[in-house]
Amino acid sequence: IPNTEKTNSDFIALSTIINEGDNVAFVYNHGTKGHNCTVSVLCYMESYLLHFVRSLSKLIREEQVVFGQISDEEWEIIRPSKQERKTKFLKMIKTAITSKDECNKCSQWKVQSAETWGYIYRTDFIPDSNDLLERRKYTMLDIGYWSPQDGFMLSDALFPHSQYGFRGVQLIFYSYHNPPWQFVSYNESGAPVISSGVVYDILTELSRKLNFTYTMVISQPAEINGSLIEGNTSSVYDLKTISSDIPQDIFSTLVNNKILLAAIGATVNEKQKKFVSFTDPISIQTYSFIISRPRELSRVLLFLSPFGPDTWLCLATAVALMGPILCVINKLSPYYEVHNKPTNIGLGKVNNCFWYIYGALLQQGGLYLPYADSGRIIIGTWWLVVLVIVTTYCGNLVAFLTFPKIDIPVNRVMQLLRNERGMTWSIRRGTFLEEILMDSTEPKYVQLYKGSQIITELGDDLVERIEAGTHVHIDWRNNLRYLMKRQYLRTDRCDFALSTDEFLDEQIALVMPKDSPYLELVNEEIKRMHQFGFIQRWVAQYLPAKDKCSGTGRVMDVQNHTVNSSDMAGSYWILLLGFVSGLFVFVCEFAFSRYRQYRASKVATVAYSN
């Protein structure tokens, strides 16, 4: 600032250009303009020569004192070198002339910096009697001065905030219980405090990097079943909390610009951006839905699984047609007529041809073989077909025995909307998902909202319906993981699975006052934490611990299977069916035989009577 002097240098007290968050330094002339401000170079030369002589004399006297107390040999050992003597000599001259400019009293420029960061938020300030209408926005710090003789003499950084951040000021933050972002528990004195959480870890890193301390005010106590959490545990997760719902008292302090930021993980909301500012996302939560874990399908008909219905139908048709074809070829072949062989025995009968074809399909031999080459070609071709069919069947059967067949799950939103199984679904009231679905014009989301049940909490009745496979619940994927963990701890079973479909990304961020000057600063630190992997590690730290259900989080997971008796139940049923069929045919044959005997005896009786 030019054209200033000591008499009117109080302009800073009346300045209105200094605002919260600024980095401002002032350099102005603090000297007094007298009648004679002529600066003579000769004056500086005389001053320098005078201090040169005095410093040299002082240096010689100090060395003479030491030299007079020791011998010549010892002096040769400890005497200073030329470089050491020159450095000490210049230091003595500089010390003598610093702050003692006698040649120019009209040009001494003072350097002051404004300490502005956090002044309207800090809790450790001392109220000023002249500051009754509003809190003080800054304090001027004497950084140093500049003079023609000494140059810049600074005792602190020219811009202290750029180097030291908030310079250790104490701030106040508001928070509330909202796992996994903020965990609230009792401390030793019985007061609720933020004990852990992703936001807590981020705030700790911010306070270290930006150099501030803070006091936390809990807006809402954390209640689970009517009591506060005793300490932090990742197994306890309150599914009633909603990140899109900022408590009114915290929102009011942000709108009134009373706190630097709210220590909460909140959903980025376009409507709330009119009143507050959101930082860059600290996490992105995706929505999925939880369903009953798909069960293994019945393995009674496992032996039919290698082939589809059309393949079995074609195979049955081939067996049914090959018998009559083989019989016709044998009867019409002139070979038997030439060689005078009967055609009404062996493969000349349709039933014998059928059983031969069926036995060949089961890789069993027959009692009869055709004599004619035409019949032998048909038999040989059938054996080649049987070889391919049996090999394919055996290979697929091994695969079906090893890997169990899982019921086709509902994995995607479109499968859920088709509702082929009559399933219902639910979403929580007041969530980001409900707001998006209400405002969406996409047909898929419109149908999803119209068919959904809006609930305030996930009760035990809905959990039972999910387990039964008649209901699904849509929520954050991490929330559903906690639900799976809670159900596992309760039942020691893996009853649930997550869908593979992830949709509607919800951004979670910190909340700051509107147009905060510190928004970019906080965003840079959040970006750095993302790049170093800090936030990802903190989020993973508060997820449920892995257990035996962790590998079944997705519905398509498959494990190797050991063949047991239930897998072979189908073959036992075939055996039983064959035995019953044989017994039934035996009874029919016996009844038919008795019937023929009865008819024969009746005919004989009538003939005798006649």
Dist CA 540 CA 379 (whole Å): 67
Q: How confident is the model at residue 201 (pLDDT cuts 50, 70, 90)?
A: very high
Q: How confident is the model at residue 300 (pLDDT cuts 50, 70, 90)?
A: low
* End-to-end CA separation in angstroms for the chain: 153
Backbone angles phi, psi at 556, to 5 degrees: -95, 5
| pLDDT the model gives residue 224 | 37
352: tokens are: 């014998």
What value does the mean pLDDT take over residues 437-465? 89
For residue 227, the cross-strand partners are: 224
Single-letter amino acid, residue 573:
W
Dist CA 521 CA 117 (whole Å): 12
Are 263 and 175 in contact by the 8 Å Cβ rule? The answer is yes
DSSP 347: G
Are 300 and 235 in contact by the 8 Å Cβ rule? The answer is no
Tell me: the pLDDT tens digits for 47-104? 888 888 988 899 889 888 888 888 888 888 888 899 999 999 898 888 887 767 677 7
Tell me: the pLDDT tens digits for 593-606? 888 888 888 888 87
Taking 50 as the threshold, does the pLDDT of residue 229 lie above it?
no
What value does the mean pLDDT take over residues 10-18? 63
Q: What is the mean pLDDT of the chain?
A: 81
Write b or e for each residue in 566-600: b if 16 or more Cβ atoms lie within 10 A of its Cβ, otherwise e.
Answer: ebebbeeeeeeeeeeeeeeeeeeeeeeeeeeeeee
Taking 90 as the threshold, does the pLDDT of residue 306 lie above it?
no
| pLDDT the model gives residue 484 | 87
Over pLDDT 90: what percentage of the chain? Answer: 18
- Give kind and range of the element (H or E) at residue 509: strand 503-513
241 is in an annotated binding site: no
What value does the mean pLDDT take over residues 283-307? 79
Tell me: the pLDDT tens digits for 369-411? 788 888 888 888 888 888 898 888 888 887 777 776 666 678 8
| pLDDT the model gives residue 41 | 78
Q: Which of 234-237's residues contact partners 24+ apart within 8 Å by CB, and which partners?
A: 234/180, 234/541, 234/542, 234/543, 234/544, 234/545, 235/485, 235/486, 235/489, 235/544, 235/545, 236/179, 237/179, 237/180, 237/479, 237/482, 237/485, 237/486
- Look-up: residue for tokens 């062989």? 341
Over pLDDT 70: what percentage of the chain? Answer: 84
